[in-house]
Amino acid sequence: MTHRFPVRVYYEDTDMGGVVYYANYLRYIERARSDWVRDLGIDQNRMREEDGVVFVVRRVEADYLLPAKFDDSLEVHTTLRSVTGARLSMVQEVWRDAQRLFVAEVLVVCINETGHPARLPANIRLLLH
């Protein structure tokens, strides 16, 4: 299942040429991941407080295919690829209508308060399968 998250490109997102600054794509996909997790019913504050674990991005491999521009209406697609004991692998794409502008392979890991890898809580694993 693919989660869809709308994004509007604002002037502050662009460079002098009106093209989206490359780092802002990472912001767009972060917002989409947060919204996806919330839509799954995962309360990240509760996960941190009760289970003592949080999600962090371990790796992002990104390809910039076409530029987005000021005032574009975009959509971020998030698709979960795999879940292991402490990892989530996903692909995130930014689309403008039928044009794929950006694609990223993202590895998210679960860590404890000391920063070490930790197993995903069982209730969270169930929501992800």
Q: Give me 49's structure tokens.
A: 């407080």
58: pLDDT strictly greater than 90: yes
pLDDT tens, residue by residue, 59-97: 999 999 999 999 999 999 999 999 999 999 999 999 999
Is 43 one of the annotated active-site residues of the chain? no
Chain mean pLDDT for the chain: 95
Stated as kind and residue range, the H or E segment containing 30 is helix 24-39
3 with 32: CB under 8 angstroms? yes
Query: Which position among 13, 15, 35, 97 bears the catalytic label?
Result: 15
* Rounded distance between C-alpha atoms, residue 38 and residue 83, angstroms: 17
128: pLDDT strictly greater than 90: no
Based on the number of CB atoms within 10 Å of its own CB, is 23 exposed (0-12), middle (13-18) or buried (19 or more)? exposed
* Rounded distance between C-alpha atoms, residue 35 and residue 25, angstroms: 15
Q: Within 13 Å, how many C-alpha atoms sit on residue 8's CB side?
A: 3
What domains does the chain contain, in order, with CATH numbers? 2-128 (3.10.129.10)
101 with 92: CB under 8 angstroms? no
* Rounded distance between C-alpha atoms, residue 69 and residue 57, angstroms: 26
pLDDT of residue 112: 94
pLDDT tens, residue by residue, 24-34: 999 999 999 99
pLDDT of residue 29: 98
pLDDT of residue 127: 83
